[in-house]
Amino acid sequence: MDVKKWLSQWGVILALCVSIIVVCFLRCCGWQNATLTQDFVQVCELIGKVFMNGLKMLVVPLIAVSLICGMMGFGSKSEFKRLGLKTFLFYFLSCFSAVLIGLFLVNVLRPGCVEKDLAAKILGQANVLPQQFIQLAHMDSSRLSDFFLRIIPSNVIHAASDNTQILGIITFALLFGFFVGRLPEDLRKPQLVFWEGIQHVLRDITRIVIAFSPIGVFGLVTPILLHTGIGVIRPLLYFVMTVLIGFFLYMFGVLYLLLRFVGKLKPWAHYKAMFPVMLMAFSTSSSAAVLPLALDRVETVAKVSPRIARFTLPLGITINMCGTALYECVVVLFIAQLYQVTQGISFGVLDQLIVVLMALLTSVGVAGIPASALIAITMIVSSVGLPIESIGVIWVVERLLDMFRTLVNVFNDTCGTVIIARTEGETLAYTTSHSA
């Protein structure tokens, strides 16, 4: 058996299993607060951070170079227009359906309509906010409201130095690639060779970083499991269940049908092919960090052409956050229900409509890094007149749900990429036999 190949396929799962075993052992022995355990956690955190840095350092170059190469590859303006329109349409409609699922579930399951005592207890948690939440709650919300300003950065080098300013890089790379593609042949050719060369180099660096994913994932997940535990979920069980059911319905309902009937693909083959991508998204809680692996998998396993993958995937990873949009909708309405139970504050259809719209809009501006949805949630909560501090009710389960929503975000982007490739007439590795 080829150990290297086995590890590349199963290494991350093995790491997650080992992490669970270690955490169970430490908790069973009551050692979770022992000095030695704290040292161990610090080492794990360091390993996790180094691994995340490795992935993050690739984000800006990979997005910029992929989009430049992708844009240069378009034969004509109309080809670009067609692909751009398809991409935005897919991302908008998929996000809209995700938010509608969230809206439906939160109104049917009513996770916030618990007994008055429990609702008051959950809201009480908002008064003991950790530092991170206090900062977020008082953050200048203009960071999201000037979203349009971030699309056109005043300084592209400055934007490139910040992983949360990817929108500006995207605009610049799209323009740059587009106009390089329009240069006369003698000027265009050397540029093409140059950027393609860089892309190959980035691909090789990506492979090295990804080879360390088992150990990196162990380092990332172990401290979270050790600190979180399952007990914290109990008071918020209905809320967590509502979010997870929403993710499940979206991933295995909407996306399954889209893959099957629009993409004319074998859906389970796609779930299987993207499994390592999902695991990585789950472990890192960062869509941006998963871009290198996602690109690799859609090109080498699904066999999407680089022309399409390098255009749709970097865009999707940056602006398309279906899982986040669904989550935002459920969180805000859950908080509203808690206030309804405890203080009789009513929350009408118009307010719900505002939440849906805001969830759609703000999810576009959410950066692909851990916990960035919290800023968007703060905005929505305040725009419908709920106290900003109330977002503290979800802080105990925030990290866990961040892992799941990042998984949904990234998986949705890979679905968009394979479906768009199919509508462009490409034959993929798991195209159904009766397809066009």
Q: Which residues bind ligand ASP (CB under 6 A)?
A: 285-287, 321, 324, 366, 368-373, 402, 405-406, 409
Residue 372 or 390 with smaller CB distance to ligand ASP: 372
Of 59, 25, 29, give the one whose Cα is nearest residue 293: 59
CA–CA distances in Å: residue 366 to residues 49, 242, 379: 21, 22, 12
Residues in the chain: 436
Shortest separation between residue 383's beta carbon and ligand ASP, angstroms:
18
Shortest separation between residue 342's beta carbon and ligand ASP, angstroms:
27
Shortest separation between residue 120's beta carbon and ligand ASP, angstroms:
28
How far apart are alpha carbons 251 and 253 in whole angstroms? 6
Phi, psi of 366 (to 5 degrees): -70, 130
Shortest separation between residue 185's beta carbon and ligand ASP, angstroms:
40
Residue 123 or 369 with smaller CB distance to ligand ASP: 369
CA–CA distances in Å: residue 200 to residues 176, 194, 204, 306: 19, 10, 6, 12
* Amino acid letter for position 285: S
DSSP label of 286:
-
Q: What is the DSSP string of 373-432?
A: HHHHHHHHHHHTT--GGGGGGGHHHHHHHHHHHHHHHHHHHHHHHHHHHHHTT---TTB-
Residue 412 or 431 with smaller CB distance to ligand ASP: 412
Residues whose CB is less than 8 angstroms from the CB of residue 334 and which lie 6 or more positions away in sequence, other chains included: 106, 111, 112, 239, 242, 393, 394
Shortest separation between residue 340's beta carbon and ligand ASP, angstroms:
25
Residue 195 or 247 with smaller CB distance to ligand ASP: 247
Tally of CA atoms within 13 A in the half-sphere of 1 that contains its CB: 5
Shortest separation between residue 287's beta carbon and ligand ASP, angstroms:
3
Shortest separation between residue 202's beta carbon and ligand ASP, angstroms:
20
Shortest separation between residue 401's beta carbon and ligand ASP, angstroms:
9
Residue 69 or 330 with smaller CB distance to ligand ASP: 330
Rg of the chain, C-alpha, whole Å: 22
Relative orientation angle of helices 306-319 and 395-423, to the nearest 10 degrees: 150
Shortest separation between residue 362's beta carbon and ligand ASP, angstroms:
10
Residue 112 or 368 with smaller CB distance to ligand ASP: 368
Which residues lie across from 431 on neighbouring strands?
265
Residue 199 or 242 with smaller CB distance to ligand ASP: 242
How far apart are alpha carbons 70 and 72 in whole angstroms? 6
Residue 222 or 406 with smaller CB distance to ligand ASP: 406
Residue 213 or 372 with smaller CB distance to ligand ASP: 372
Shortest separation between residue 367's beta carbon and ligand ASP, angstroms:
7
Shortest separation between residue 254's beta carbon and ligand ASP, angstroms:
18
Phi, psi of 431 (to 5 degrees): -75, 140
Residue 37 or 228 with smaller CB distance to ligand ASP: 228
Residues whose CB is less than 8 angstroms from the CB of residue 435 and which lie 6 or more positions away in sequence, other chains included: 264, 265, 422
> What three-state secondary structure class fits 141?
coil
How far apart are alpha carbons 211 and 54 in whole angstroms? 11
Residue 159 or 369 with smaller CB distance to ligand ASP: 369
Residues whose CB is less than 8 angstroms from the CB of residue 26 and which lie 6 or more positions away in sequence, other chains included: 32, 37, 226
Shortest separation between residue 365's beta carbon and ligand ASP, angstroms:
11
Residue 299 or 402 with smaller CB distance to ligand ASP: 402
User: Residue 353: which H helix or E strand, with range?
Assistant: helix 349-365
